Amino acid sequence: MRDIIMCSTCKFSATEKLAPDGRTGGETLIAHMADAIAARGIELPVVSQACLWNCKRHCSVVLRDGARFTYFTGDHEPSREQAEAILDWFALHEQSESGEVSFRQWPDRMRGHFIARIPRAPA
């Protein structure tokens, strides 16, 4: 099972709760992620979750995988470019048996966003 869990209540920026259109940063990033997934023609569930308890690092995203490491990330810009970078990194993650991605391969927009690496649950 692979999916992306995205905080729907994250602030739009460090100083603004809402975007000019009235959406939270989380809602904005979720919309960009849905568009990016559709444009790639892939099937990847996105789970919207109210508050992931990471408010100091808004726009939190969990990259979950039942067979590999899961990663908790934050400080994402609520933009299409950031959604694309998240998907690019998660595609590399899928190619790895353990879910470990060499830092050299990381998209630039993913550097500095990782908070925790969570081992898979025992079978």
Structure tokens at 58: 């808004």
CATH topology of domain 2-118: Glutaredoxin (3.40.30)
Q: What is the pLDDT of residues 61-77, one digit of tens each?
A: 999 999 999 999 999 99
Residue 13 reports pLDDT greater than 80: yes
| pTM flag (> 0.75) | yes
**With contact defined as beta carbons under 8 Å apart, do 25 and 19 qualify?**
yes
Each domain of the chain, given as residue ranges in start order, spans 2-118
Query: Region 46-69: what's the mean pLDDT?
Result: 95
Residue 14 reports pLDDT greater than 90: no
Phi, psi angles (nearest 5°) of residue 121: -70, 145
* Whole-number Å distance between alpha carbons of 90 and 84: 10
Residue 93 reports pLDDT greater than 80: yes
What is the rounded average pLDDT for all residues in the chain? 96
DSSP symbols for 64-114: EESSS-EEEE----SSHHHHHHHHHHHHHHHHSSSS---GGGS-GGGTT-E
DSSP 41: T
Structure tokens at 47: 């789970």
pLDDT at 122: 82
